[in-house]
Amino acid sequence: MSAPTPPFNAQVLRKTVLDMAYAGSTVHIACAFSIIELLAVLYRSHLRYPGNDPSAAGRDYFVLSKGHGVMAQYACMRELGWLKDEAFSGYYADGSDLNGLSDSRIPGLEVTSGSLGHGFSVGVGMAMGAKLHGTDQKTYALVGDGEINEGPIWEGALFAAHHELKNFMVIVDENGFQAMGRTQDVLDLGSIRGKFESFGFEALAVDGHDEAAIDRAIGQLWASTSTAPKALIAKTVKGKGVPFMENNNRWHYTRLDPDSYIQALAAVVGDAA
C-alpha cells in the first residue's frame, strides 16, 4: 500500500500546471514552476484562512505580485477546494473565469497583478492596514527578481521599513531570468539580500526548492523580535522539474504541443502520467 500523498505535493502541483497550460494553450509554465515549493510551504504551513474561507475577515494575505506565475497559485487553490476540476480542464476556454494573470475577482487572489511592481506596494498597504487595526494578520508578497527592477518596489520597501511593518514579508523568486533575458544582463541586481537589508529589512536567503529549509527560514523570520519587515530571498530554477525547461528562457512564452506535453508529464510524474 503506497503512502498517502501529502498536501500541496510539488509533483501534483506541477502536473496541475502542465494540464492547465496544455488545456488552455497558454504560456508562463516555467515562471510557475520556479515558485511551486514556495507556495506549497506557504499554503501547507503558514497562511491562515479561518474556516478554509479565502475571503475570511481575519485571513493572512498572500499577494502574488509576480502575477504571471498564477497557475502555481491556481494549483494550490485546487488542493484547498476553492477551485473545481472543471475550471482546470476548461482553462482559457470561452467562459473561463480564470485568467493568465492574477485577478482579484477570483476569491483567493488578493490583487490584480501582472503589471509588475504594483502588487508589492498593495501588500505593504495591507500590512499597514492590519497594523493600524491591531490585528495579527500577516502579509506575504511574492515578487520576481526581474520585477524588482521597478521603482515602486523600492518606494514600498522604504515605506514598510519606516513604519516598522514587522507583519510584512516579501519573498523574492530569484530564478535569474526575466521575460527578455537574464536579470544580470538586463539590469544587474547585485546582492538582492544586501539591497533589502540596506532598505531596513531583516533578510534571509534560502534554496527555493528545499521545502524544509523554506519552512525553517519563514519561521525564523517571524520568530524574530525585530520590528523590521522581512525578506526571504529564494534561489530558484526557472522551469524547475522539467529538464528541457530548466534555465531555458524560451519557456517564458512557449506553449506546449502534444509531444512536449507528454515529455513534460513524464519528467514530472514518470509512469504515473
d(CA 254, CA 257): 9
* pLDDT tier at 105, thresholds 50, 70, 90: very high
pLDDT of the residue at 271: 56
Domains and CATH numbers, the chain: 10-272 (3.40.50.970)
Average of per-residue pLDDT across 39-52: 98
What does the pLDDT look like over 141-180, one tens digit per residue? 999 999 999 999 999 999 999 999 999 999 999 999 999 9
pLDDT of the residue at 8: 96
CA distances from 179 to 11, 68, 92, 102, 247 (A): 25, 11, 21, 17, 12
Angle (deg, nearest 10), helices 10-24 and 70-79: 120
DSSP sequence for 17-75 = HHHHHHHHT---HHHHHTTHHHHHHIIIII---GGG-TT-TT--EEEESSGGGHHHHHH
* pLDDT tier at 114, thresholds 50, 70, 90: confident
The larger pLDDT score, comparing residue 247 to residue 95, is at 247
Q: What does the buried/exposed string (b/e) look like for 148-174 if buried means 16 or more CB atoms within 10 Å of the residue's CB?
A: bbbebbbebbebbbebebbbbbbbbbb
pLDDT at 272 over 70: no
What does the pLDDT look like over 187-227, one tens digit per residue? 999 999 999 999 999 999 999 999 999 999 999 999 999 99
Tell me, rounded to whole angstroms, the distance of Cα 191 from its chain centroid.
21
> What's the grid cell of residue 26?
497558454
What does the pLDDT look like over 129-144, one tens digit per residue? 999 999 999 999 999 9
Verdict on whether the full-model pTM lies above 0.85? yes
Angle at 39 between CA 17 and CA 134, to 5 degrees: 140
DSSP letter at 253 equals T
Nearest alpha-carbon partner for 199 in 120, 126, 96: 120
pLDDT of the residue at 273: 46
pLDDT of the residue at 1: 45
225, with CB counted inside 10 A (0-12, 13-18, 19+), is exposed
pLDDT at 2 over 60: no
What does the pLDDT look like over 250-266, one tens digit per residue? 999 999 999 999 999 99
